[in-house]
Every structure is written in structure tokens, then in C-alpha cells.
Structure 1
């Protein structure tokens, strides 16, 4: 009979981040003001909140960021198209 082994909970990256703090890099730009970050040492993902703080990237935040990114992309393309149309009309 095989024993069920627990997953290894110790991570050298997490241990280093616990002592020295995280080293975040931008992993995705959502809008001009909202970004997603990932720690290069331990892989923790964070995002900017509406209040200007950083929070862990939960599934709810991921869903919200995807919606914002799509909305922002459509808005920017529409504004660019309208700007081009106005400049050609002038």
C-alpha cells in the first residue's frame, strides 16, 4: 500500500522572499494605471487595486483584469479610429 505524500511546502524562493522581500517585475500591463506583477524569486503574483495598493492576484482579480484589459483595448482602438477619421475630414 502506497502512502500519500504531502507536497513539498518548503520553497527556497519563498524563504528568501520572507527574509529579503519580493523582487517584482511587471508581467502584464492591463491599463496605464493597472499592472500585474510576478516575483522573480518565488513566483507570487500581485496586481494593483483601485485604491492604489498591491494585492495577491486571485481568480476574481484575474477575471476583473481581463475584463478591464478588453474594455481598455476596445476603447483605445475606437478613439484611435475616431481621431484618424477626424484628421482625414479636416
Structure 2
């Protein structure tokens, strides 16, 4: 693919999401209350915060979600 076309598509996707908002789909269920999301248009990643709002998924939050999922799985097995 032409690099200019690729760059144009990325800029268009980001502009589309800024104007109309992200179209999130659930990628991974961490617990019953926490999930990880990905935008169908611009492919950015997000997760829930404590209040239920979607926030950018940083590396630190990925590690927290991974640990939380491991604890959640252990708890489910124990019950």
C-alpha cells in the first residue's frame, strides 16, 4: 500500500472518531465489571475505570487488568 494513502487513512480515522465518537467493541472481559475495548474505526484501546467511564488503555493499566483477571480466575475456581 502507498505510504501516503496509509497515512491519509489513519488521519481520516482519527478525525472521524474525534467528530462522531469511537465505536467500541469488547475485546476482553477482565471481570464482571471491567472490560477492555477496541475502537472499530481507529483501533485505539480503552478500559473501564472505577466509575465505569472508558479511559485510554496504558501499559500500566494492561498490567493491572492482567493481574486483576488472574485473581478473578483464582476466585472463580475456589468457589
Same topology, TM > 0.5: yes
Give unpaired runs (5+ residues) of structure 1: 1-7, 80-90
Q: 1-side partners of 2:54 and 2:45: how far apart?
A: 10
Give TM-score, length-normalised by structure 2.
Answer: 0.83
Partner of 1:14: 14
Tell me the residue number matched to 1:76. 76
Residues 1-90 of structure 1: pairs in structure 2 closer than 5 A = 8=7, 10-79=10-79
Counterpart-to-counterpart distance in 1, 2:22 and 2:52 = 18
Contact preservation (8 Å) 1:11, 1:42? no
5+ residue gaps, structure 2? 1-6
Larger Rg computed on CA atoms: 1
Number of equivalenced pairs: 72
Distance, in Å, in 1 between the alignment partners of 2:51 and 2:64 is 15
Q: Measure the CA separation in 1 of the matches of 2:62 and 2:11.
A: 24
